[in-house]
Amino acid sequence: MDVYLSNMDNKYTNLAPFRVGMVLVDGFSLMSYSAAIEPLRAANLLSGQELYKVRNLPVFGARSISSTGAVIPATAHIGEQVDFDLVLLIASGNPFAFDDANALSWLRNLARRNVIIGGVSGGPVIMAKAGIMKGRRMTVHWEHRGTLAERFPDLRLEHALYVVDKDRLTCAGGTAPLDMMHALISSHHGGDFARSVSDWYLHTDVRPAGGPQRAGLAQRYHTNNASVLRVIETMENQLSDPLSLSELAAIAGLGVRQLNRLFQSKVNMTTMVFYRKLRLDKANTLLAQSYLSVTEVALATGFASTAHFSSCYKKHFGLAPSLNRG
């Protein structure tokens, strides 16, 4: 882990607490929030000291509301004269729609003051929108990765659970903050103490930063057939310029009919129907999370014409693509 965080080398002592601001964007995932804040609470409890002082900052008003309706009252506000060692943005839903100028300006100001800034789940998207990730390695929840790469092609995106690059932390969300906070606590107070915190939550299998965000293809599609998995991997890498059935069969080293029978047996649909579903699912994500036009989405997912794309999309999802905008 590439750690620059200047306050992160102090062992467990009676020093002033490490000050953390949790910026909660309405609709944030309660799981991501809990996985980030609970290890800090446990560190305080197990040490008998306030090692971490946490404040919750809503983007608007006096409270933040999670995706499940849980209400988190504000204990600080964006722009207040409150000093933080780490500010962590937690967002879910469609972070690409976030456009609060005050919050983005505040983040840029924190960056100029060399405050450590982090993002969880969709939070890294907001960091990118604030323009504070130039030249930095980063990660984001897999659901947002494709759109983020298209919107900000110069970002140094990685497939990882979390990334620490100097004074920037990014985390994929879900349960991954447990692993990131283990690393943070370990760097502050040593590995033994961090393990005691993780053990408190039965988090005995701490994952490395570069661990995978998703189950492998075999787990996702419930098959270990090497030919099917090879073809699916090729499909996922060729959504904008789809291959023909004969080309896919050649990659699998099979005949066309043999490949179709194999797909029908293993994933309950023919090869090209499966391929079209992958492309339409990608198109659905782009429509919800990007500002690409319907025509641009059609081209990005390998459809020759907007009319053909719209017809396939409506048949698959039951509504016109123009009705599914973020």
Comparing 21-25, 51-55, 188-192, the range with the smallest average pLDDT is: 188-192
Give the pLDDT confidence of 199-233 residue by residue, as tens digits.
999 888 887 787 667 666 777 888 888 889 889 88
Architecture of domain 217-323: Orthogonal Bundle (1.10)
Provide the pLDDT confidence category of residue 115 given band limits of 50, 70 and 90: very high
Residue 2, pLDDT score: 40
Give the pLDDT confidence of 26-61 residue by residue, as tens digits.
999 999 999 999 999 999 999 999 999 999 999 989
Domains 2-200 and 217-323 share a fold: no
Q: Which CATH superfamily is domain 2-200 in?
A: Class I glutamine amidotransferase (GATase) domain (3.40.50.880)
Residue 10, pLDDT score: 45
Residue 12, pLDDT score: 46
- Overall pTM > 0.75: no
Residue 209, pLDDT score: 80
Whole-angstrom Cα distance, residue 244 to residue 204? 46
Percentage of residues in the chain having pLDDT higher than 90: 62
Q: What are the boundaries of each domain within the chain?
A: 2-200, 217-323
